[in-house]
Amino acid sequence: MNNRLLRLLFVLLLTVHVIQSAAWAQVKAAPPISSVKGKLQAVTSDSLDVVSPSGVVHVKIMQPLKIYGRVPSDLSHVTSTSFVGVTSVKQADGTELAKQVNIFPAELRGIGEGSNMLPAAPGSVSQSRMTNGSVTTNAAPASRMTNGTVQKQSGGTTLVVQYQTGTQTISVPKGVEVTETKLIKETIKPGDTVNVVTEKQKDGTLTTSKVYLVAASK
């Protein structure tokens, strides 16, 4: 192979690498979905009032309103570039052990992105962590160009979940509850815990056409 062909091959390989790097950069740079999480205070055909940690937030409904909820699933539905929410508890050795895994659809990718501590349950001395982020299901180790990896182990699965500001490595034991968020034919009502996907308009008002039903009131 002469020098000219070698230079051409090098340029082609470099071009492919740059294109792949740019594509991954776009995926990683995708901003989280704006949303308001809390309990519904009021629901009408035109608007929602959500009691959030920062106060009551008024959101105008843009029809048709889509309601999402969780249905039973399994880890086989965690595919390449899935966006998941994992509830986990830190163990004595410092590792995170999953208690529940939820798989989000593509249209809710980015909702609640990040890793945050949840309030301790009444009577519990330990807090759970909620991590929302991206995973991939390839065998390659995590790197700057990989959103995450799912590594199979004899005792379960290890999820490496990446979000905008970091990663969490979480062990998923066999038998852990796995759910999938899908469109559901249910109505929402005051008292329900929801995560409302919002878009801010030029006049400052918030609008929504997607509501994730986290927990229905009893």
* Residue-level pLDDT at 166: 86
Q: Are strands 177-183 and 128-134 parallel, antiparallel or unpaired?
A: unpaired
Task: Give me the residues paired with residue 177 across strands.
Answer: 100
Closest CA to 85 of 99, 65, 64, 67: 99
**What average pLDDT does the segment 66-73 reach?**
97
Q: Where are the domains of the chain?
A: 1-30, 35-215
Query: Residue 196 above 90 pLDDT?
Result: yes
pLDDT band at 158 (very low <50, low <70, confident <90, very high): confident
**Tens digits of per-residue pLDDT, 121-132?**
676 667 899 999
3-state helix, strand, coil in the chain (%, to 5): 15, 50, 35
DSSP, res 31? P
**Tens digits of per-residue pLDDT, 47-58?**
999 999 999 999
* Residue-level pLDDT at 127: 83
**What average pLDDT does the segment 187-216 reach?**
96
Give pTM, 2 decimals: 0.75
**What average pLDDT does the segment 99-121 reach?**
88
**What average pLDDT does the segment 1-15 reach?**
52
Token duo for residue 10: 């090098």
pLDDT band at 185 (very low <50, low <70, confident <90, very high): very high
Closest CA to 147 of 117, 129, 168, 130: 168
Query: Residue 7 above 80 pLDDT?
Result: no
Q: Are strands 96-104 and 177-183 parallel, antiparallel or unpaired?
A: parallel
Task: Give me the residues paired with residue 171 across strands.
Answer: 97, 158
- Between these two residues, 62 and 33, which has the higher pLDDT value? 62
